[in-house]
Amino acid sequence: VSFRQLISPDDPIYLPTILRALPRHVDDAGLRQRLGKALDGWKAANGIPSPLAPLSLGKFATGSETARLYLNGGVFHSDPELSEIWDACGPDNQQFIEYQFRQYEGRIREVFIELKKVIDEGRAAGVLMDDPLNLEGGHRRTRATGNAGQS
């Protein structure tokens, strides 16, 4: 699993999808709460990092759009339109975009680390379930087989 896969909405292992689905398989309220905070961290990282960002980055001011431009236009050149935008930015703006991307990457890394900790702790405590919990009332108690949450 690559960083690029986890932040790409078109990928089946998109991080927010995992963060939204996993709590229904964790039979521990504290761990579910930590997953909710991790999702909040994801949302914050994908927002606009500062009031000045839109002035210099325009439509690429959000964390997710900066990452899309940097990865798909600059690093991998997998998107011709983004590559053209990247090339037109010039070296100073490219360096600024890379800096903004590194800031985004650091905030997202914290979310990854928390997700891994919750999965490891859930496995150790035996609270990861194969079947989703019924969080409205009673729940199914099928313990995870060891494959749930593997990355």
Mean pLDDT of all residues belonging to the chain = 86
pLDDT at 141 over 60: no
Strand locations in the chain, DSSP E? Answer: none
Q: 135 versus 71: which is more confidently predicted?
A: 71
pLDDT at 31 over 50: yes
Sort 45 into a burial class: Cβ within 10 Å, 0-12 / 13-18 / 19+: buried
Distance CA 131, CA 138 (A): 13
The model's confidence at residue 148, banded by pLDDT at 50, 70 and 90, is very low
Asked whether the beta carbons of 151 and 1 are under 8 A apart, the reply is: yes
The model's confidence at residue 76, banded by pLDDT at 50, 70 and 90, is confident
Asked whether the beta carbons of 129 and 115 are under 8 A apart, the reply is: no
The model's confidence at residue 57, banded by pLDDT at 50, 70 and 90, is confident
